[in-house]
Structure 1
Amino acid sequence: MRRYCSVGLDFKVVIAHRIHQSVHQVLDLVGTLTTNDTAQPWDIETLARHCAGASALMVFMTEVIDDGFLEQCPDLQVIAGALKGYNNIDVAACTQRGVLVTNVPDLLTAPTAELTIGLMIGLARHIVRADQSVRAGGFQGWRPDFYGGSLNGATVGVIGAGAVGKSVLRMLGGFDCRCLYFDKKPITVEEECELSAQRVSLEALQSQSDFVVLAVHLMPETHHMVNASFLGRMKPGAYLVNPARGSVVDEAAVVEALGAGHLAGYAADTHEMEDWVRDDRPHDIHEALLASDKTILTPHIGSAVAIVREAIERSAAESILAVRDGLVPATAVNPEARC
């Protein structure tokens, strides 16, 4: 296994996307720093070329790191993810080659849950459609129009009781709604009491919920978890909200459910086309979702709060600094790579 760099030795760092200037200044002190200052991600060949001789690489969701890439970058000691989920990184290959992988597990939770609540309200209350109507000159005074649903008195089902799922449930405490959740691993009784949430079967959640919120990781067993069968078991007229990962949802099946009137609306901050690790991923959001007036689609802005994004980048930078100093960061997902 390769030895790690000592304090004082030159340490080349590559940043795959633009970052906040304050974080850039911290890393400027490390050694040689190369940053992608364009608005687009580098292709993998360009990234590998910049990483020649690099000790550290800060990546985001758009970079797919596999063994072939690592083979071209033999000097890498750490891949610091400015992200929470890291299935775009082959952790096993990194471990085999002695490359630490770090992530940022906690900072994205609250802003993602906050956006989720906003999407739920925006979808049910037709906020986007109403705004567009006003801008198009359609407002001539009050009319009995844009009647929608409400969180007040609704049943909300959250699938996944991890950090984001629990944060959504906690925020729903400010509304007069009934909260259900499904997770194979139940939370504690104390947490259920705190969140006023009841654990039920997936089938019960689907059939009873006016809103279904997806808060699961993308894994083989959750890929296209929301398909035609799943949607068919949902309560007629319910809303579906996806702040999780795009490929958890079969977007074509959602189009069919919306068209049939079974699904009242769909809101998503994540989309199938951005799951770069899928060889068969679509390259665009489904046209019918874009055209529908029953959807709200946002460009993966769950963590897009300025102070949060800066903190995420700073956490990734601190992981790089720790490795530069010969340490294993607390955020390492494969600390065994250091052995």
Structure 2
Amino acid sequence: MTRTRPKVIVTNWVHDEVRRYLESFAEIEANMDRTTPWSADEIAERGADAEAMLAFMTDSVDAALLARLPALKMISCAVRGYDNFHLEACRARGIAVAHVPDLLQGPTADLTLGLIISLTRNMLAADRFVRSGHFAGWRPHFYGLGLAGTPVGIIGMGGLGQAIARRLLACDADVSYFDETVPALPSMLDGQMSAKPLEQILAESQVVILALPLTAETRHVIDEAALCSMKTGAYLINPARGSLVDEMAVAEAIKAGRLQGYAADVFALEDWALKDRPKSIPRDLIEARDRTVFTPHLGSAVDAVRFDIAMAAARNLEQFFKGEEPDGLVPQARFAHAELSAD
């Protein structure tokens, strides 16, 4: 029987309202399990006749998977960063790709501020101490770092970097940034912080924050050499992509006492499109409990925000099938990623 509406596969759980919105213009097959993403094999099986996919961070779409999705015309990603989607392979097949560029920065910046304060104020170690039963009242313990007047360097001054900067400036931090594109800053930020070379950011900042997309050029932007150039006793914060840092080098820098602490919401094991990604977080990082703060990719994990992101991705699909240009259409020509595998 010929379908009169396009088939859309939804690879991860979405709110019921989003599902009903999709059903208003498409036939959908959706993953209703909140704990288990569909594997590539399951996507290929369920999507063999699908014309579109609503995809998420857990998905990795390369040439090999696309070959198993012969009817696919559109991938709408409920994410901001699309490094897990091989755009060159999509372009070769004539498959449109869209993302949601503007809804994640605020909640991710909020979480970043929480990571900074949790790490620099020793909050997890202090929490464990209180729960240990040994707390008998105030003592001169767990002294940490305040933000007021502290030199903080942000690497990347796109939407996320700007959102983080606004929050830090409200805390009276001394903010500087590095960005190769030298963005035009909004008036509320212009003149409130200074642009500096990367080497200066690393050498002078007490807190270094990564706010970059993952590309072949930015992978391991923080490696052993970069860590050695940082101020001894500095803190590193990563709310962006795990593979921006060499996690083994970070673990060694903490063990050697060069790096005071590392906080991350993202990990290299999540960067599915990298064929040589690690399969786990280095044990030395996991065991450095008093020098690390880790969260499981909670940057946009605000219920209302995740609803808005999924709904925006659904609207991108509706616009595409109406013959309109989706609001979040990705210009595919700007992303040629030599390190992404089609295996």
Q: What is the aligned counterpart of 1:20 among 15, 31, 39?
A: 15
> Structure 1's 188 and 102: CA in aligned 2 closer, same or farther, altered over 3 A?
closer
Equivalent residues in 2 for 1:147-186 (5 A)? 147-186=143-182
Q: For the residues of structure 1 that align with 2:151 and 2:220, how far apart are their CA atoms?
A: 24
Deviation sequence 1:29-77 (CA, Å, 0-9, x none): 2232111122112221111110011111011111111122222212112
Distance in 2, Cα, partners of 1:334 & 1:187: 19
Which residue of the partner structure matches residue 95 of structure 1? Answer: 91
The residue aligned with 2:46 is 50
Query: 1:192-229 deviations in whole A, cap 9, x for unaligned?
Result: 85361101111111111110001111111111111111
Q: Mapping of 1:136-215 within 5 angstroms?
A: 136-188=132-184, 191=187, 194=190, 196-215=192-211
Q: Which residue of 1 aligns with 2:325?
A: 328
Which residue pairs with 2:240 in the alignment?
244
* Alpha-carbon distance in 2 for matches of 1:204, 1:331: 35
Q: Distance in 1 between matches of 2:59 and 2:42?
A: 11
- Is 1:106 aligned with 2:102? yes
Whole-Å Cα distance in 1 between the matches of residues 4 and 221 of structure 2? Answer: 48
Rate the CA distance shift 1:269–1:193 in 2: closer, same or farther, 3 A.
closer
Shift of 1:334: 4.0
Q: How does 1:52-67 map to 2 (within 5 A)?
A: 52-67=48-63
**Alpha-carbon displacement from aligned partner over 1:98-148 (angstroms, at most 9, x marks no partner):** 211000001001111111111111100011111121122231111111111
Unaligned runs of 5+ in 2: 334-343
TM superposition shift of 1:331: 1.1
Residue 312 of structure 2 corresponds to which residue in structure 1?
Answer: 315
| CA distance in structure 2 between the aligned counterparts of 1:300 and 1:195, rounded to whole angstroms | 32
TM-score, length of structure 1 as denominator length: 0.93
Distance, in Å, in 2 between the alignment partners of 1:164 and 1:136 is 37
Q: Is the 8 A contact 2:88 2:332 kept in 1?
A: no
Superposition CA RMSD, Å: 1.6
Q: CA deviation at 1:173?
A: 1.6
Q: Which deviates the most, 51-60 or 28-37?
A: 28-37
Distance 2:119 2:332 in 1: 42
Structure 2 counterpart SS, 1:72: coil
Distance 1:219 1:115, change over 3 A: same
Mean alpha-carbon deviation: is it higher for 98-107 or for 35-44?
A: 35-44
**Deviation string, structure 1 residues 243-280 (Cα, Å, up to 9, x no partner):** 11000100111111111111111000010111101111
* Residue in structure 1 matched with residue 79 of structure 2 by the alignment: 83
Q: Runs of 5+ in structure 1 lacking a partner?
A: 1-7
Counterpart for residue 10 of structure 1: 5
Structure 1 residues 57 and 188: CA distance shift in structure 2, 3 A:
closer
Tell me the secondary structure at the aligned position of residue 67 of structure 2: helix
34-43 vs 272-281, greater mean Cα deviation: 34-43
Matched residues, number: 329
Amino acid at match of 2:248: A
Q: CA contact under 8 A between 1:170 and 1:195: conserved in structure 2? A: no
TM-score (norm 2): 0.92
- Matched position secondary structure for 2:5: coil
Give the corresponding residue for 1:33: 28
Distance 2:30 2:141 in 1: 50
User: What amino acid is the match of 2:280?
Assistant: D
- 2:70 matched to 1:74? yes
Q: Indicate how the Cα distance of structure 1 residues 276 and 113 shifts in structure 2: closer, same or farther if over 3 A, else same.
A: same
CA separation in 1, counterparts of 2:116 and 2:191? 18
Corresponding residue for 2:225?
Answer: 229
Deviation at 1:189, TM superposition (A): 6.7
SS in 1 for 2:190: helix
Amino acid at match of 1:173: L
8 Å CA contact 1:173–1:195 kept in 2: the answer is no
Q: Against the structure 1 CA distance between its residues 183 and 192, is the aligned structure 2 distance closer, same or farther, given a 3 Å change threshold?
A: farther
